Amino acid sequence: MSKVVILGAGLSGLIKLAHLRKGNEVVLLEKDNYGGLLRTEKINGFQFDRTGHLIHSLNKPFKDFLNAMNIEITEKKRNASIYFEDKYIPYPFQLNISYLRGELKHDIIDEVLKLDEEENTTGLDFINWVEKKFGKTLSHIFFIPYNRKLLKTDLKNISPSWFLRYMPVPNKMEIIKSLKKGNVEIGYNQVFYYPQAGNIQIIVDKMYELFKKHINLNTNIKSIDTEKKQVICDDVVYDYDRLISTIPFEEFLHLANEEHNYNIDHINVYDLNVGVKKGNFPYHWTYYPEEKYPFYRIGCFSNISENVSPKGKMSFYIETSYKDKLPDKDDILKSVESLGIFRADDIEVIDEEYLEYAYPIYNNDIKQLRAHQRSFEQKGITFFGRSGSHTYSSMADLF
């Protein structure tokens, strides 16, 4: 019987626990009183997830898991948009150019016609890559400002691989055709799923209940000795044969006292959840590429599910990324109000969440980071999950 220690009780840690608990001696260590991003705050009849958590791809193992846990889900047809030049453009932007003003349409088509689709784009940085795929105009009105705002990083140091699987890359003809047709349905999330009963936390609640004897909450890990194979906590030392870390990779390195000579980067997200008496927003979510709005995305919980806010009321998540300086709540609310989404007087409830390590950044050193992660395998250590393995991933990828 092997001794297994799992770090972090988010969905990643819980899935590993579910798989390994039989036939091994397993303990899961979590610093908080309840782990992970799949958590829902319930305030005065509003249920706020930690920003929108939607099931975009429902693979078979994920489906089997939901069935086993008796969690019913409903399918929704995506209604998403991009707010640009005071107008809502249907998502995806690159296939709805008919909604743009004449001069932009003209420049985009002119440039798209000249694109060389056969050109090898491997190894290009983000800016060069989008320019080669979409032309300069589309790149500079949407892809570059949006990603700069989200990642708060020089995009010359970013590899496009970080978002490729989530972004529709149409060919020239598809872009040109959208000049006429508009609103072409494409992309990884034309439909999405969400728990019927409302709130995303129910996905992990049952696992917490089923596996509670293995889960140690409120545990302060002081250090990890990768030579002696020990996790040292305040009062206890856990020996392991196998260690699975789902805590942010940077935190793991710190606890293991591991030096590294490459750059690891991530971005945090400030999630401002707001419940209002009434509002004006027909979308599931909208992207805001323009610099004058502090947030990069607004989503509407009450449009996603009718069971997450009191009848007739609306609820929103407003996502703003940050590195060191915390975003200003009042600035954000003023900006939302200026868009006519809701009025400050109609706000009933506010919930603020600070999601650290929300997006792992794929910078130029990503290969060194991956090699460093692999080097731990011989010591019985593996990394799993979004921040644990520093991989831009979703719930479905964990099954």
Q: To 10 degrees, what angle do helices 202-210 and 11-20 make? A: 40
Other beta carbons within 10 angstroms of residue 145's beta carbon come to 18
- In the complex, minimum distance from the CB of residue 50 to ligand FAD, in angstroms, rounded to a whole number: 7
Q: Tokens 């706000």 appear where?
A: 347
Restricted to residues 97-126, the positions that interact with ligand FAD (CB under 6 A) are none
Residue from 78, 266, 386, 390 in contact with ligand FAD (CB under 6 A)? 386
Closest CB to ligand FAD among 35 and 145? 35
CB 64 within 8 A of CB 55: no
Closest contact distance (angstroms) between CB of 199 and ligand FAD is 13
Chosen residue from 26, 54, 141, 264 binding ligand FAD by CB under 6 A: 54
Token match 């002696």: residue?
A: 228
365-374, long-range: CB < 8 A, 24+ apart: 365/262, 365/263, 365/264, 366/159, 366/161, 368/260, 368/262, 369/249, 369/260, 369/262, 369/264, 372/260, 372/262, 373/249
Nearer to ligand FAD, 12 or 178 (CB): 12
**Identity of the residue numbered 239:** D
Site string for ligand FAD, 252-291 (x = CB under 6 A): -----------------x----------------------
Among 46, 143, 215, 251, binds ligand FAD (CB under 6 A): 251
x/- mask, ligand FAD, residues 34-53, rule CB under 6 A, reads -xxxx------------xxx
Closest CB to ligand FAD among 232 and 333? Answer: 232
Distinct helix (H) and strand (E) counts, the chain: 12, 19
Nearer to ligand FAD, 138 or 200 (CB): 200
State the Cα–Cα distance between residues 230 and 240, nearest whole angstrom: 6
Which stretches of the chain bind ligand FAD, using CB under 6 A? 7-13, 29-32, 35-38, 51-54, 56, 221, 246-247, 251, 269, 355, 358, 385-388, 393-396
